[in-house]
Amino acid sequence: MTEMHGPAREDVERVLGGMIDGAIGKRLPDLARVEACSVADGRLRVTLAVPADLAPRLGETVARAEDALSTAFAPLTASILLTAHREAPGAAAPAQGAAQGGGGHRPLGGVGRKPAAGEPARLLEHVGVVIAVASGKGGVGKSTTAVNLAVGLGMEGLSVGLMDADVHGPSLPRMLGTVGQPEVRDGLLIPVQAWGISAMSIGMLVDETQAMIWRGPMVMGAISQLLGDVAWGALDVLVIDMPPGTGDAQLTLAQKAVLTGAIIVSTPQDIALLDARRGIAMFEKTRVPVLGLVENMSYFCCPNCGHRTELFGHGGARDEAMRLNVPFLGEIPLLADIRASADSGVPITIGAPESEAAQAYRMLAATVAGTIRRVSRLPPV
Ligand SMILES: Nc1ncnc2c1ncn2[C@@H]1O[C@H](COP(=O)(O)OP(=O)(O)OP(=O)(O)O)[C@@H](O)[C@H]1O
């Protein structure tokens, strides 16, 4: 990253000084305080401290502020990261010159300008391939699969990032056992290191309950920040745990994130397969290749006697994959240990590497690693 001198904080404050948030009816400096500004790689990153309860309402003003800063300091492109004050809800906004100091602040996702066309591609330029793990509907085990796949890819010798774009139900911090908030350096969020991979989730930045109520533009703003304002660094692969379903947010993410390919997770039940078909259609619409289908909760394996029971009629996803002409990547059994390890914060691939479940995830990771090496021309191990 190339550091360079940029505008002084006072210059930034001067530009923001003229901005008014029409909806709240106040000048921006009366609502937010410039905490930091830095310039690197042609980007001016400004960190603004705002009261937590106001942050969700500032999206439009922040977008205008970014435009104003970009115009004032061209050719730099400005992006604003909001950090939240831990003040009582409804507390008066901090005026300029209020007490400085980082202790009471934390980064906030969810607000910001939509990146210009092609921007994420540039920002992820040191990332070899970007793979979405998606599902047509919620609750099929997409996040569990994404986590164990990412950890498994790390075990295959790849450098791996995992981004939780499941904004409304960010489960990554729980599944990886991470606590606390990520560091911010030079205006960029530093991914958390866990089990051999780099990870970032909205759940590490804001209260889950706060993210639950975000609407479309907020969700897209948050996802843009996860793509653009995180120091992902050089990675062989970035795995994105997509939001469930096939709505606008998913479609936009598929278009924005410059995905190399997508993996669809499905359970064997017909209804889930119908949803999976919808998921595949969405990626086809955005010309993102579907790398394959994974069948989760494929069969039940008795932990005592090892007997295998096909609960939902096994093989549905394999047949569906053949019908749809997409590769079948593997099947993951339904096991209480998978759920327990997800809840304990230690992925089963790490916690019980010899288990049937871990072996299934490792096979899946080996298959996907093969695909990644093929598409990115990485040397075979
Ligand atoms: N193969 C499995 N065996 C047993 N439990 C599983 C398995 N896969 C997932 N689970 C459990 O099922 C629940 C849902 O899984 P997960 O959160 O991964 O689903 P999801 O598709 O990401 O859901 P959503 O996107 O709607 O939040 C979790 O409690 C998880 O531990």
For ligand 1, pick from 143, 269, 297 the residue to mutate: most ligand atoms within 8 Å of CB.
Answer: 143
The matching CATH number, chosen from 3.40.640.10, 3.40.50.300, 3.40.50.1980, 3.40.190.10, for 120-376 is 3.40.50.300
Residue 298: partners with Cβ closer than 8 Å, 6 or more residues away: 267, 268, 314, 317, 331, 332, 333, 334
- What six digits make up the tokens of 59? 């999206």
Q: Does the ipTM surpass 0.85?
A: yes
CA of 83 to the centre of ligand 1 (A): 31
Regarding the beta carbon of 135 and ligand 1, being less than 6 Å apart is answered yes
Residue 279: partners with Cβ closer than 8 Å, 6 or more residues away: 134, 135, 136, 246, 262, 264
Closest CA to 84 of 57, 53, 45, 46: 53
- Atom from ligand 1 closest to the CA of residue 343: 31
Q: Verify cis geometry, omega within 30 degrees of 0, for the bond prior to 244.
A: no
pTM for the predicted model, two decimal places:
0.70
Spell out a b/e string for 42-80, using b for 16 or more CB atoms within 10 Å of the CB, else e: ebbbbbbbbbbbbbbebbebbbbbbebbbebbeebbbbb
Regarding the beta carbon of 142 and ligand 1, being less than 6 Å apart is answered yes
Regarding the beta carbon of 334 and ligand 1, being less than 6 Å apart is answered yes
CA of 342 to the centre of ligand 1 (A): 8
The backbone torsions φ and ψ at residue 353, rounded to the nearest 5 degrees and listed phi first, read -60, -20
Determine which residue's CA is closest to atom 26 belonging to ligand 1. 138
* SS percent in the chain: helix, strand, coil, step 5: 40, 25, 35
Regarding the beta carbon of 217 and ligand 1, being less than 6 Å apart is answered no
For the chain, what percent of residues have pLDDT higher than 90? 25
CA of 272 to the centre of ligand 1 (A): 13
- Encode pLDDT of 342-378 as tens digits: 899 999 999 999 998 999 999 999 999 988 887 765 5
- Encode pLDDT of 273-323 as tens digits: 788 888 888 888 888 889 999 999 887 877 777 777 776 666 778 888 888
For ligand 1, pick from 133, 137, 143, 144 the residue to mutate: most ligand atoms within 8 Å of CB.
Answer: 144
Q: Output the CA–CA distances (angstroms, integers) from residue 55 to 75, 109, 126, 211, 289, in the order listed.
A: 28, 9, 31, 12, 37
Give the residue, 203 or 84, on which the prediction is more confident: 203
140 marked as binding residue: yes
Beta bridge partners of 349: none
User: Alpha-carbon distance 115 to 65, whole Å?
Assistant: 14
pLDDT, residue 188, reads: 85
Contact 78, 41 (CB under 8 A): no
139 marked as binding residue: yes
Domain with CATH 3.40.50.300 in the chain: 120-376
CA of 339 to the centre of ligand 1 (A): 7
Residue type, 36: A
DSSP 264: E
Regarding the beta carbon of 138 and ligand 1, being less than 6 Å apart is answered yes
Residue 71: partners with Cβ closer than 8 Å, 6 or more residues away: none
Closest CA to 33 of 10, 53, 6, 57: 10
pLDDT, residue 314, reads: 66
Determine which residue's CA is closest to atom 12 belonging to ligand 1. 141
pLDDT, residue 123, reads: 57
Regarding the beta carbon of 50 and ligand 1, being less than 6 Å apart is answered no
- Encode pLDDT of 31-79 as tens digits: 888 888 888 777 888 888 777 667 667 777 888 888 888 888 888 888 8
Determine which residue's CA is closest to atom 29 belonging to ligand 1. 339
Average pLDDT, the chain: 78
Closest CA to 79 of 205, 183, 201, 227: 227
The backbone torsions φ and ψ at residue 197, rounded to the nearest 5 degrees and listed phi first, read -130, 165
Closest CA to 283 of 300, 261, 299, 304: 261
Residue 7: partners with Cβ closer than 8 Å, 6 or more residues away: 37, 39, 44, 72, 73
CATH 3.90.1750 assigned to 3-113: no
> In 302-367, at which residue ranges do the beta strands (DSSP E only) sit?
308-309, 328-334
Domain with CATH 3.30.300 in the chain: 3-113
